[in-house]
């Protein structure tokens, strides 16, 4: 069994241009997108036992799929 330590992970995405970054620590607050300079930033928290996959479709835009990792312990 894999034991994960609690850690901080967030995805930060721009709803205008789909710029995305994975934030590993709460060290930076984005008020505007560094790519398009609009105030369309959204933060999505990711639990320690979650993983996500990303895909971009020209018609549908950015898709983010979350999945619970098997064999992990939730510390909440």
Q: Give the per-residue SS3 of 24-67.
A: CCCCCCCCCCCCCCCCCEEEEECCCCEEEEEEEECCCEEEEEEE
List pLDDT tens digits, range 27-74.
677 889 999 999 999 988 888 788 878 788 888 877 888 888 776 555
Sign for the CA dihedral angle at 64, 67, 73, 76 comes to positive
pTM tops 0.95, yes or no = no
Enumerate the domain spans of the chain: 10-68
How far apart CA 49 and CA 35 sit, in angstroms, is 30
For residue 68, what are the β-bridge partners? 50
């Amino acid at each position: 069994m894999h034991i994960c330590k609690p850690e901080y992970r967030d995805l930060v995405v721009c709803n205008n241009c789909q710029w995305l970054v994975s934030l590993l620590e709460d060290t930076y607050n984005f008020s505007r997108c560094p790519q398009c300079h609009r105030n369309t930033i959204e933060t999505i928290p990711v639990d320690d036992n979650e993983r996500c996959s990303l895909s971009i479709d020209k018609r549908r835009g950015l898709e983010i799929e979350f999945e619970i990792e098997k064999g992990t312990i939730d510390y909440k």
